[in-house]
Amino acid sequence: MFFPVIKEKPLNGVYIAQDLPEFDWNELFSSKYQDQFNQFIDQNFGFRPFLIRLFNQVDYSVFNKSHGSGIVIGKKNYLFELWYIDAFTGSDFSGRDSIAEKVRKLEIINKYLNHYNTKFLIVIAPGKGHYYPELIPELYLKFQQKTNYDYYDEFFNNTTLQVLDFNNWFVQMKDTVKYPLFSQTGTHWSEYGAALAADSIIRKIEVLLNKNLKNVKWDQVKLSETPNAADNDLENLMNLFYPIHEYTLAYPVFKEDTDFDLSSPKTITIADSFFWQLIEGRFLISFDYLEFWYYYNSVYPESTEEKITVREIDVLDRMINTDVVLLEFSTSNLRDFGSGFIEDVYRIFTDTEYLKSRKTINIIRRIKASPEWMKDIMEKAQNNNIPLDSMIFLDAQYIAEMEIADLHLPGIDQLQ
């Protein structure tokens, strides 16, 4: 533990307290120090990674049991996350009326974005449970019902929303596609599947914008029986000694488009973890600027340096000043489709008081981040004998009202 002569491979997906807690008499007498010390010892005793891997390997090899959180070992040693199975069986069903209401709000959001000449595209990423239902253990298939995906598919077909349904497309291609669209030991689409999806999304955006975009081209693949990290994320979380046998996977060999006169639109994407593979697969080259609002929470690339959330930005201003808004969620996340995006943006467009409140909060942040602006408001507060915080709020609210007036937001009944 204290003299690690033998260097061990760290565990995957596990937080380890690296430092002994700092001694404090007050925390000692309240027992907080003892709890922290015990946690450190428990996570750092000698040969802990080796012993945990040994325990996990025995349970997997002898009892076909996984200790990875939420990981289900399917037939032929295919790994699933439980929520993708729930999405296939309908165990996570959120209700027909709830889904109908979300689709109604999506139609309104689409109309508002079109009013400001921003294109709106919905992408349904595939689920491994839908793609490999024959490999799901029978135990999980006892109770099946209509699913969230079934109802979204039904309701979307009765709207003018632009939807790319990769779940349906992948299932249709399953018997004819040359290479696996899902890996054996991963939870997301394979790198090959992600490359096909990226190409289709770019082509759809070209149609929506009536422009040709720069693209990442590929006409050959590299075959490998050793999956990369993205195609092996579930096995990595199991922390085993020996790799699970993997079928041959295909990895596209990319080459950039040499025509630099093509368009590069600005895009905002609200998406789940499936979108990471598109970014890492050089999807970014097609766009002049791309923001990724991860689960409608962290904003990338801004969060790369310092975590920025959607609560800290002017959501409306950014959306109406971009070319495309893309909403991507997989079947397992349809239980909470949009992660709050649908409800929040619908309210931003239709509730002026809510919009004013959101804008005021963001303007206050901008004021406090600007020394020159703060200096002007401090002088104004002193001249008017008003507390500084009140002066900041009043100025921010006034600016918010002016910005909203400049938007000329139409009512729902005025939208085309």
Residue of 246 and 159 predicted with greater confidence:
159
Q: Are 235 and 243 in contact (CB under 8 A)?
A: yes
Round to whole Å and give the CA distance between 132 and 150. 17
Round to whole Å and give the CA distance between 298 and 238. 27
Residues 13-71: pLDDT tens digits? 766 656 777 888 888 888 888 888 888 877 777 788 888 888 889 988 899 899 888 89
Residues 152-190: pLDDT tens digits? 999 999 999 999 999 999 999 999 999 999 999 999 999
Q: How far is CA 302 from CA 45, 116, 234, 284, 290, in A?
A: 38, 25, 28, 15, 11
Paired tokens of 41: 């010892």
Paired tokens of 69: 């959180």
Q: CA angle, 216 as apex, 210 and 221 as ends, to 5°?
A: 135
Residues 315-366: pLDDT tens digits? 999 999 999 999 999 999 999 999 999 999 999 999 999 999 999 999 999 9
Round to whole Å and give the CA distance between 72 and 83. 10
Neighbours of 234 (CB within 10 A): 26
Paired tokens of 47: 């040969």
The H or E element containing residue 385 is none
Q: Are 185 and 231 in contact (CB under 8 A)?
A: yes
Round to whole Å and give the CA distance between 53 and 55. 5
Beta bridge partners of 168: none
- Chain-centre distance for alpha carbon 101: 22
Q: Are 84 and 332 in contact (CB under 8 A)?
A: yes
Paired tokens of 267: 């895009």
pLDDT score for 218: 83
pLDDT score for 103: 97
Query: Any residues with CB less than 8 A from the CB of 32 and at least 6 apart, and which?
Result: none
With b meaning 16 or more CB within 10 Å and e meaning fewer, what string describes 312-346? ebbbbebbbebbbbbbbbbbbbbbebbbebbebbb
Beta bridge partners of 223: 250
Residue of 364 and 3 predicted with greater confidence:
364
Burial class of residue 68, CB neighbours in 10 A (0-12, 13-18, 19+): buried
Q: Which of 71-85, 283-297, 391-405 has the lowest mean pLDDT?
A: 283-297
Residues 86-124: pLDDT tens digits? 999 999 999 999 999 999 999 999 999 999 999 999 999
Round to whole Å and give the CA distance between 195 and 203. 12
Round to whole Å and give the CA distance between 379 and 61. 72
Round to whole Å and give the CA distance between 8 and 3. 12
pTM of the entire predicted model: 0.88
* Dihedral sign (CA 336, 338, 344, 347): negative
Q: How far is CA 14 from CA 18, 43, 44, 237, in A?
A: 12, 10, 12, 9
pLDDT score for 198: 92
Residue type (1 letter), 2: F
The H or E element containing residue 145 is none
pLDDT category at 314 given cuts 50, 70, 90 is: very high
Residues 115-132: pLDDT tens digits? 999 999 999 999 999 999
Strand 324-330, strand 119-125: pairing: parallel
pLDDT score for 214: 80
pLDDT score for 85: 96
Closest Cα to residue 225, out of 175, 183, 189?
183
Identify the residue whose tokens are 């909403």: 327
Round to whole Å and give the CA distance between 360 and 354. 10
Q: In the chain, pLDDT over 90 holds for what percent of residues? A: 64
Q: What is the largest CA-CA distance in the chain?
A: 78
193 SS3 class: helix
